[in-house]
Structures are given as structure tokens and as C-alpha cells.
């Protein structure tokens, strides 16, 4: 069986090339082409300032937010855009341009102070989107919770009683008994420090730390699960845009040491460099001959304002290989719907004999109804029992999508 990667490149642009190139920093941000020209230049200026500040302060790339996750928002506004996937019970928020630099600088500061036990940027973004949808003016619990992280008034009082010198740097109480953050930066910084110092968040205590932020009981458990899932989606976006070069030399050395140890253990003798290189080359050929599908979170933007989606491009490339059957492995954090053009194609694939045990279903009068053919499809909204880690047989002639890499596999 031969697999061909078709490479089609369609560049969609609403602007002349010269004008598009003028926006070095802002051109890739979310909904950029829909902004007024004055807003475009304001965003470009803001992101240029952010770039210079990050460079001056030595903030590593791993602590930065990809431009495609940023949308323009003037300081003081509260609206937010989000990415929504119908196959997940939650959305994740795009990051407002007026908060981006604060999050990046405070995440780097926290890491320098607490090391690997510092709350990562992905967790704080997930918490703030969950708590306030990135609105610094957000009020909750009948006005008792304020800010990006929704600091609860009784909690604020307790913190000042315990260590007023430290926590008063972040917030204060006015004469009427209402608490206020001293600045938006303090809202961001507070969550990093509060999670670590008061909720004992750490590399080995992530879930418990996030749960404690919201209190105790079943509600706190659900809150922690939601934040963790959202943080994983952010991490996948970061990994997508912050790709690192693989250190093949280090990998080869570690693999060599492991194989030598195993060979000595079982056979009482070592393995020569020539034998190792031959074995290593066989392993690499096996990897190159496999299908590697990237994780992807298909974006469907929505907002409390007019929503739009920018079409970028699709790619084509030629590739050939031999195999008896083609299988797709659904990755962790992925859903099977992401790989197919539409519901009809997925339904046709999943009902093949080689995919016994897998099925699509919908709900009818409160009961699960298995879908067997196209006539059972009422609309494109239905479910599947395929989960990450499962292998799905792909028949000949099927188009399989890897949207993040913008490539299409045609199985032949």
C-alpha cells in the first residue's frame, strides 16, 4: 500500500505584500486582518515593546505566548475570544494583548524564584480564563471576589492577618471594607505566589494545589479537573509554536548505554559500536516508516462580539511507503473527529470490519443509539467511543488530515 502526501499551497491574504510585511510582530495575531488600521499599528507598537522588554530581561522563548494566541484589546476593556471544540466540554481563551507581557514576565519571575515548583504559565492562564475570562474588572460572589483570579474577600482578610507586610504589596482594603488589587500586574503576580506559598502548589502537587485554590469538596475537584485540562491545551499550543531541535547525539548516547546494559544483563557480553550503529539505523528506519500525527485542537472561535475565522493555507508534499494496512493512533489530548474531513467520512471508516469494537453514537430519548450508516446521521453532532491511544484502521482512498501541520494523507 502506498501513502501519498499531497502538497497544496494556497496563500490567502487581504493585504498587499508590502503592507503585510510592515507588521513584523502583530501580523500573526488572532483576527488581525479585521482590526482598524489604527488598532493594527497600536498592536504592532505594543508587541514590539513587549519583544524588546523580554529580550532585555532575558525571558526564554519557552515562557512566551505564541502570537497566534494573542488578540488585540485596549487596556481597560474586558471582552475575550475563545477556542471552542464541540468534542470537548470546555473552551480555552485567547490571551488579550494588554495582559500578554505581564503573564510572560511574571511566569519567568516565578520560575526564577521557585524553580520547577513554580506554577507554569499554562496553569495560571487556565485559572484566570476559568475565573474571569481575562477580565481584570470581573466581580464574583456578589462582589466578594475580584480580579483576574477572583480573590475572595475573606481570603484576603486572612492573608493580611497572617503576613500583612507581604500580601499588602498586592492588595488593600478601602474605608468601606472593599478589597482592591493595586495594579493589574499585581493580579497576575498574586496568583503565581498565592498558589505556591499558600496552596502548596508544586511539581509533585499540581492537582492538589489547584483544587485547594477553589476550596474543598466536589466543586473544587471539578474546578481542578477543568483547569488541568485547559492548561494541557495551552501546553499543546506552546509546544506547537516553541519547537525544539532534537538532540540526536544525546539520544544516541543514552540509547547506547541502555542497550549495552540490557545486552550485558541477558547475554553476559557487550555490543560493539558497529553492531550498535546497525541496530540504531534499523530503529530510525522503523520510526521514519511510521505515521506520526501531531496533536491538534481544532479552533472554532466565538466571542461576545462578532466572530470570524482567518483562513491561512494548506500544504502539499509527496511521500511514499509500503505497508499492509494503515492505522491511525489517536494521540493523548486528541479526538478522532480532528482527523477527518466530515462526519460522513468518519462514520464510514469507523464501521469497517477491522475497526470492530469502535462505533459512533448519538442519543435518542435519553438512550445511546449506535450509528450504522449515513441515513442514521441527523446532523454532524454525534459521539464516538474512540479514545486517545486507540488504533483506527484507515481503508484505501481515505483522506486523513493533520491540521496543525496543514497536510493531507491520501491512503492508497
pLDDT digits (tens, 9 = 90+) for 356-367: 888 888 777 777
Residue 299 has pLDDT above 70, yes or no: no
Q: In a 10 Å sphere around its CB, with 0-12 CB exposed, 13-18 middle and 19+ buried, how is residue 405 labelled? A: middle
Residue 303 has pLDDT above 60, yes or no: no
- Give residue for cell 530581561: 57
Ranges assigned E (strand) in 333-398: 360-364, 367-371, 383-384, 391-394
Q: Which residue has the higher pLDDT, 241 or 312?
A: 241
Q: What is the 3-state secondary structure (H, E, C) of 221-266?
A: HHHHHHHHHHHHHHHHHHHHHCCCCCCHHHHHHHHHHHHHHHHHHH
- Give the separation between CA 331 and CA 404, rounded to whole angstroms: 13
- Give the separation between CA 298 and CA 152, rounded to whole angstroms: 35
Are residues 162 and 94 in contact, defined by beta-carbon separation less than 8 angstroms?
A: no
Confidence of residue 285 (pLDDT cuts 50, 70, 90): low
**Residue 48 CB coordination number (10 Å):** 14
Q: What's the pTM?
A: 0.58
Residue 396 has pLDDT above 50, yes or no: yes
Residue 127 has pLDDT above 50, yes or no: yes
**Residue 54 CB coordination number (10 Å):** 18
Torsional sign, CA 66, 302, 232, 236: negative
- Give the separation between CA 128 and CA 188, rounded to whole angstroms: 9
Q: What is the pLDDT of residue 375?
A: 74
Q: Which residue has the higher pLDDT, 344 or 179?
A: 179
**Residue 117 CB coordination number (10 Å):** 18
Domains and their CATH numbers in the chain:
21-241 (1.10.530.10), 248-288 (no CATH), 303-411 (no CATH)
Q: In a 10 Å sphere around its CB, with 0-12 CB exposed, 13-18 middle and 19+ buried, how is residue 140 labelled? A: middle
| Sequence-ordered list of residues with C-beta below 8 angstroms from that of 303, at least 6 positions apart, any chain | 79, 80, 81, 82
Compute the mean pLDDT over every residue in the chain, rounded to the nearest whole number: 76
Task: Quote the cell numbers at residue 356.
Answer: 470492530
From residue 19, alpha-carbon distances to 22, 24, 207 in Å are 5, 10, 47
Q: In a 10 Å sphere around its CB, with 0-12 CB exposed, 13-18 middle and 19+ buried, how is residue 304 labelled? A: exposed
Q: Which residues of 371-400 are buried (b: 16+ CB within 10 A; e: fewer)?
A: beeeeebeeeebebebeeebebbbeeebeb
Radius of gyration of the chain, Cα coordinates, nearest whole angstrom: 25
Q: Which residue has the higher pLDDT, 321 or 22?
A: 22
Residue 380 has pLDDT above 50, yes or no: yes
Which long-range CB contacts under 8 A does 176-183 form with residues at least 24 apart? 178/143, 178/153, 179/146, 179/151, 179/153, 180/146, 181/136, 181/146, 181/147, 181/151
pLDDT digits (tens, 9 = 90+) for 20-74: 456 788 888 988 999 999 999 999 999 999 999 999 988 988 899 999 899 999 9
Task: Quote the cell numbers at residue 282.
Answer: 534499523
Are residues 350 and 324 in contact, defined by beta-carbon separation less than 8 angstroms?
A: no
Are residues 136 and 125 in contact, defined by beta-carbon separation less than 8 angstroms?
A: no
- Give the separation between CA 385 and CA 357, rounded to whole angstroms: 9
Q: Which residues is 213 bridged to in the sheet? A: none
Which range, of 44-53, 132-141, 242-251, 288-297, averages the lowest pLDDT?
288-297
Task: Quote the cell numbers at residue 188.
Answer: 497576575
Confidence of residue 346 (pLDDT cuts 50, 70, 90): confident
Q: What is the pLDDT of residue 338?
A: 75
Which range, of 170-174, 217-221, 366-370, averages the lowest pLDDT?
366-370
Q: What is the pLDDT of residue 243?
A: 61
Q: What is the pLDDT of residue 337?
A: 77
Q: In a 10 Å sphere around its CB, with 0-12 CB exposed, 13-18 middle and 19+ buried, how is residue 331 labelled? A: middle
Structure-derived torsion over alpha carbons of residues 63, 66, 67, 69, reported in degrees to the nearest 10: -110
Amino acid at each position: 500500500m502506498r501513502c501519498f502526501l499531497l502538497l497544496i499551497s494556497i496563500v490567502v491574504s487581504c493585504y498587499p505584500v508590502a503592507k503585510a510585511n510592515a507588521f513584523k510582530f502583530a501580523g500573526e495575531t488572532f483576527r488581525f486582518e479585521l482590526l482598524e488600521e489604527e488598532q493594527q499599528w497600536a498592536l504592532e507598537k505594543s508587541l514590539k515593546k513587549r519583544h524588546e522588554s523580554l529580550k532585555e530581561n532575558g525571558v526564554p522563548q519557552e515562557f512566551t505566548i505564541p502570537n497566534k494566541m494573542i488578540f488585540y484589546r485596549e487596556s481597560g476593556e474586558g471582552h475575550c475570544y475563545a477556542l471552542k471544540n464541540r468534542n470537548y466540554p470546555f473552551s480555552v481563551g485567547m490571551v488579550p494583548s494588554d495582559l500578554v507581557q505581564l503573564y510572560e514576565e511574571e511566569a519567568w519571575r516565578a520560575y526564577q524564584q521557585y524553580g520547577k515548583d513554580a506554577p507554569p504559565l499554562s496553569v495560571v492562564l487556565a485559572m484566570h480564563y476559568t475565573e474571569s475570562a481575562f477580565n481584570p474588572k470581573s466581580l464574583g460572589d456578589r462582589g466578594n471576589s475580584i480580579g483576574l483570579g477572583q480573590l475572595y474577600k475573606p481570603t484576603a482578610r486572612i492573608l493580611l492577618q497572617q503576613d500583612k507586610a507581604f500580601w499588602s504589596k498586592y492588595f488593600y482594603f478601602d474605608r468601606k471594607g472593599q478589597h482592591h488589587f493595586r495594579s493589574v500586574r499585581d493580579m497576575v503576580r498574586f496568583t503565581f505566589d498565592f498558589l505556591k506559598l499558600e496552596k502548596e502548589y508544586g511539581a509533585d502537587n499540581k492537582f492538589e494545589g489547584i483544587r485547594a485554590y477553589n476550596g474543598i469538596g466536589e466543586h473544587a475537584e471539578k474546578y481542578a479537573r477543568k483547569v488541568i485540562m485547559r492548561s494541557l491545551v495551552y501546553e499543546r499550543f506552546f509546544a506547537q509554536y516553541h519547537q525544539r531541535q532534537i538532540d540526536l547525539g544525546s539520544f544516541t548516547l543514552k540509547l547506547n548505554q541502555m542497550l549495552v546494559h540490557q545486552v550485558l544483563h541477558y547475554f553476559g557480553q557487550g555490543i560493539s559500536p558497529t553492531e550498535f550503529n546497525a541496530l540504531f539505523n534499523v530503529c530510525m528506519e522503523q520510526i521514519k516508516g511510521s505515521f506520526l500525527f501531531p496533536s491538534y485542537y481544532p479552533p472554532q472561535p466565538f466571542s461576545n462580539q462578532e466572530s470570524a475565522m482567518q483562513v491561512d493555507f494548506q500544504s502539499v508534499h509527496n511521500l511514499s511507503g509500503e505497508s499492509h494496512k494503515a492505522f491511525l493512533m489517536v494521540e493523548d489530548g486528541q479526538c478522532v473527529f480532528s482527523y477527518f474531513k466530515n462526519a460522513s467520512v468518519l462514520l464510514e471508516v469507523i464501521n469497517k470490519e477491522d475497526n470492530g469494537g469502535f462505533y459512533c453514537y448519538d442519543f435518542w430519548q435519553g438512550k445511546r443509539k449506535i450509528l450504522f450508516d449515513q441515513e442514521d446521521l441527523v446532523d454532524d453532532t454525534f459521539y464516538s467511543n474512540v479514545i486517545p491511544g486507540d488504533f483506527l484502521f484507515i481503508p484505501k482512498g481515505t483522506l486523513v488530515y493533520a491540521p496543525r501541520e496543514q497536510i493531507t494523507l491520501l491512503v492508497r
